[in-house]
Amino acid sequence: MTVALVATLNLIAGDTPASNSFFGRLSSVNPAELPAKSAELVFQADSKTRSETTINVVKAAVGLNPAAAAAIVGTIAQSTPEMASVAAATAVGLVPNQAIAIARAAAAAAPSEAGKIVEAVCRIVPNVYKEVADGVAGVAPGEGKAILAGVSAAIPALQGSINKDLVSYNGGNPAVSDVLNQISPIATSPGMNGLPLPVTPAVHTGPPYVADPPSPINVDPGNGGQVPPGGRNYSNP
């Protein structure tokens, strides 16, 4: 799965209509028929080149009609389920603001691929991993374990916490939102390999702390506070 995702990410970048023959083949298609035609092209592709074909078809179709990204991915996922995660990752790379809708559409059409879809999408937009996982769980409720495994694979920093919470389910199907809500939040800024970094405690950067001055001490004015030569003799009454 990881190798396929790396290949997907590499192929998403740097494409142009001139280098992708599917732009020309899809540009004449009626917008309403674009999702179905895209799915047909993927389905008819040779198994050896199907992944690359999926990437190029999605790039062309979404490039021609970004608003139809979720429909394009969902239709491809329905006709060729094994390409659901590849199609979803490619589309999210192009229109990341539609990540949740795209992930839901892919998982609704191919629920058995829910875990792979979550992993693929979360690798592209790790800062919305909870929303993506919850959205997919809503259309594939029986895939809780696979969805959480997808989050763990995409964001290794969460793996320990997720595995710890899963123990309490004793092999049952976990509630994705419950597990993720118990995990410490992570920063949305990218860290190593584009993954989020764990949140660290805030560091005080203001002026140094100065303690309040001690309360004033009242002095008995009986002798004016003057000390006789040689000091006071406290042994005398």
**CA 139 to CA 95: how far, in whole Å?**
21
Bridge partners (DSSP) listed for residue 186: 198
What digits encode the pLDDT tens for the residues 98-156?
Answer: 999 999 999 999 999 999 999 999 999 999 999 999 999 999 999 999 999 999 999 99
Instruction: Tell me the two tokens of residue 185.
Output: 């939040």
What digits encode the pLDDT tens for the residues 172-196?
Answer: 788 999 999 988 665 444 443 444 4
What's the pLDDT score for residue 15?
59
| Number of DSSP helices (H) and strands (E) in the chain, helices first | 12, 2
Residue 2 reports pLDDT greater than 80? no
Burial of residue 31 (CB within 10 Å: 0-12, 13-18, 19+) is exposed
CB 52 within 8 Å of CB 15: no
Using left for φ > 0, alpha for ψ between -120 and 50, and beta otherwise, residue 217 falls in: beta
Q: Is the pTM of this model over 0.85?
A: no
Residue 125, classed as helix, strand or coil, is: coil
Q: Give residue limits of the domains in the chain.
A: 2-199
**CA 228 to CA 220: how far, in whole Å?**
15
One-letter identity of residue 116: K
Instruction: Tell me the two tokens of residue 56.
Output: 């190029």
What's the pLDDT score for residue 64?
95
